[in-house]
Chains A and B, each alone.
Chain A
Amino acid sequence: MVRFENVGLRYGMGPEVLRDISFTIEQGSFRFLTGPSGAGKTSLLRLLFLALKPTRGLISLLGRDVATLPRRELPTLRRRIGVVFQEFRLLDHLTTFENVALPLRVAGERLSRYRDDVMELLHWVGLADHANAYPPVLSGGEKQRAAIARAVIGKPDLLLADEPTGNVDPVLALRLMRLLVELNRFGTTVVIATHDTNLISQVDAPVITLERGTLKGIG
């Protein structure tokens, strides 16, 4: 599913923010990615959701070598990856329904085909009543759930979440974790970047630990 071999990353001419990262994530597995602030978690996630290319090393994602992937094939691969951003990144001019449906819309599906699926997912995350609401009027927890719904609506093979419970209270955090675990049960590979040790302790899953841009351990 995911394979990193001696991956290095630097921004421009700056120092390497990731050095010699090597690990493998099997299909259908659940992983935490942790480490202190500035350890490189977000940079690693950005490599995983194809927002960046490594400056060295090999990344194999969903069976494709990222370094040799032509630009025109990126969208096809991205549609197999769901991403939950720490800052949600919902589009303020679209309703909750439209934000959640966005991956299906850009894939060319018709509203009549996905309307019921999106509404069902909104029920599932408790946002059906807010389907026509715009993100600025949603609470932090509601935005977080909308972001998760958008990430999973396309039934991705790989779900990446950056601090998915960072903006919500502990009760809501637990509910969101249940959502992600259930998605994993349905076959989606899940990688969650967090430095919340309490959250990590609630799920029995391997943890990839980063420290100052290097892999400290997997366990």
Chain B
Amino acid sequence: MSATSATASASGWARPRRQTPRRQSAVIPRSQPAMRTLMIAISVMCYLASLAIGGLILINRAVDSWTTDMAREVTVQVRPLEGHDLEAQLARAADIIGRFDGITEVRVLGREAAAKLLEPWLGQGPLIDDLPVPRLITVGVDRRNPPDLDRLAAALEAEVAGVSLDTHRHWQRELTRLASAMQWLGLTILLLVLCSAVTLVVQVTRTALEANREAVEVLYLVGARDRFIAGAVERRFLRAGLTGSIAGTALGVATFAAVTFAGYAAAPSGLAEASRSLIFGPSAQTTIAYLAFVVVPIVATLICLVTARLAVLKILRQAF
């Protein structure tokens, strides 16, 4: 442009003081109502996603803990039958059980202990003394070398009258089914959040491009390529996506922390304790949770960027 200096005076304008800009504004305007809406919506979605992920981790841990406890123990029940000495039947059963490999403990519950188990239904008093209360044997099982429970049941039924073996398999199956249902529910929530995010980003992209139609047209006319415009729009989504997703996830983590503080003093177990182990527990327990929480904003922002880019390129090809 050196030729321009020579012609400055001929054109009639004097050379004034220089003001040299050091940085450039974004070619797509910064403040957009659509972007603010997107930021709020993304933060809500990431909040829900964080709750769903935290909930999934808690459910998995709880079910794992319950099933481990159940698998560690089976129960043998001996019903009192006429013509049979219940104590002898119990001793016989304990003896048979003790002969099997993989048994770590055999404990015969006394009549008082068995009656105490029925107290919630029958209450205390003489009635319970008159009833033929079944007796229980709790059997510890080595989880690494479990006994053949089918053979154990068959051996007991062959030699002890009125005996039944409860392996808790039914409850394990029920719990596993519940856990599976909860996992699917959590995953469905995540999928719905994902679909909503994609739909929203596409809509906001459309709105943002429409609101900046003049800018986009000018950019085209001065020689911009689609990817330049897509990059400019993408940077707006990066800011909105990152801010919204970090805020939403932080709020999700704060909710678990709040549950810990709100509920722990009143009931030192259940959700409050589970939340405490999720957020403030030993690092072995919290690492996975925090990793999952870190992944939420990263994935959310990536979804924003990729969706926005694809949407921009498609809209530009169709409309310009």
Chain A residues within CB distance 8 Å of chain B: 49, 51, 71-72, 75-76, 78-79, 83, 89, 91, 93-95, 97-98, 101-103, 105-108, 111, 115, 117, 119-121, 123-126, 128-129, 131-132, 150, 154, 175, 178-179, 182, 186
Contact = CB atoms under 8 A, between A and B. Distances in A.
B223 A178 contact: no
B317 to A, nearest CB: 8
A101 to B, nearest CB: 8
Contacts of A178: 10-12
Contacts, number: 117
A182 B222 contact: no
B222 A150 contact: yes
B222 A102 contact: yes
Contact of B223 (A75, A89, A123, A126): A75
Among A51, A106, A175, residue most surrounded by chain B Cβ atoms (within 10 Å): A106
Interface in B282-300: none
Given A75-B224, A79-B223, A182-B11, A105 B16 contact: no
Contacts of A124: 1, 4-5, 7-8, 11, 13
A78 B223 CA distance: 5
B145 interface: no
A121 B27 contact: no
Given A123-B13, A128-B15, A132-B19, A106 B25 contact: no
B158 interface: no
A86 B281 CA distance: 68
A121 B12 contact: no
Contacts of B267: none
B1 A117 contact: yes
Contacts of B17: 128-129
Interface residues of B, number: 39
A150 B218 CA distance: 11
A93 B25 contact: yes
B268 interface: no
A168 to B, nearest CB: 13
Nearest to B223: A79
Among B16, B27, B218, B219, residue most surrounded by chain A Cβ atoms (within 10 Å): B218
B29 A93 contact: yes
B171 interface: no
Contact of B27 (A79, A102, A117, A186): A102
B218 A89 contact: yes
Interface string B214-257: 11011111111100100000000000000000000000000000
A131 B214 contact: no
Contacts of B217: 89
Given A98-B21, A182-B7, A125 B29 contact: no
A120 B26 CA distance: 23
9 closest pairs, A vs B, by CB? A126-B13, A79-B223, A106-B224, A124-B4, A103-B222, A78-B223, A93-B29, A117-B1, A129-B16
Contacts of B225: 72, 75, 106
Nearest to A176: B11
A178 to B, nearest CB: 6
A91 B215 contact: yes
29 contacts: A51-B221, A75-B220, A75-B225, A76-B223, A78-B221, A91-B27, A93-B25, A93-B26, A93-B29, A93-B215, A94-B25, A95-B21, A98-B25, A102-B219, A103-B222, A106-B219, A106-B223, A107-B223, A121-B1, A123-B8, A123-B15, A124-B1, A126-B11, A126-B12, A126-B13, A126-B16, A131-B21, A132-B21, A178-B11
